Amino acid sequence: MPREVRTRQMLDAAVEVFARCGYRTASMDEIAELAGASKPLVYLYLNSKEELFSACVRREAEALIAAVRSAVDPGAPADRRLWNGLRAFFAHTAAHPDGWALLHCQARTYGEPFALEVARLRQQLVDVVTDLIARTAREGAEQECALPEREIAGLAHALVGAAESLAGWADSRSCEAAGRTGAPPSEQEAAGTLMNLAWAGLGNLMNGRRWAPARS
């Protein structure tokens, strides 16, 4: 079997086991067995448990980012771009629950050697959203309301956090789903909820209509 195929099988098995057990508790024996490979071969190809975990996180994060990026048609109107990006995000996380569990629940601990790698990958997702908002803001700028770069970065962080939380709500194994009653929201429902929260807000902002506290 070509090395590439073998490696993919090992990563598939590792994502499943890490998602179920967490980084610390996962056993290399179980991963090797599930991959149908010997443990020495897993070490030969992937080097160490730590590098195996990093490789899993990288693969899953890159797939998620690619799914969102390819869903956003640069020629579409601003709200349609966001809508398509959000739907792709929720569809991908629902279709890859183990990969999502890895990114969302297992990988945020710091102090772990892979923490920087995870932070770097999440930042790429924030960058995609930042681009999306910045492009919208430039279109809005014809109506004299350029948004400062820093505020755009903050908005992107807020939007990504909101999407993560909603994807967690949809994933029955995640911590966010603990209080959920009823079926998990569909990708359509999650994306619709977030558009209703965010779009009219962003939409107003792009047109220079800011929120301000009333003087009290």
Residues 148-187 that bind a second copy (CB under 8 A): 150-151, 153-155, 157-166, 168-169, 173-176, 178-180, 182, 185
Using rule CB under 8 A, residue 202 touches a second copy: yes
Nearer to a second copy, 44 or 197 (CB): 197
Using rule CB under 8 A, residue 193 touches a second copy: yes
Length of the chain in terms of residues written:
216
Size of the site for a second copy (CB under 8 A): 75
Using rule CB under 8 A, residue 58 touches a second copy: no
Residues 114-153 that bind a second copy (CB under 8 A): 115-116, 118-120, 122-123, 126-127, 150-151, 153
Nearest approach, Cβ of residue 38 and a second copy (Å) = 26
Range in contact with a second copy (rule: CB under 8 A) among 4-12, 41-49, 62-70, 74-82: 74-82
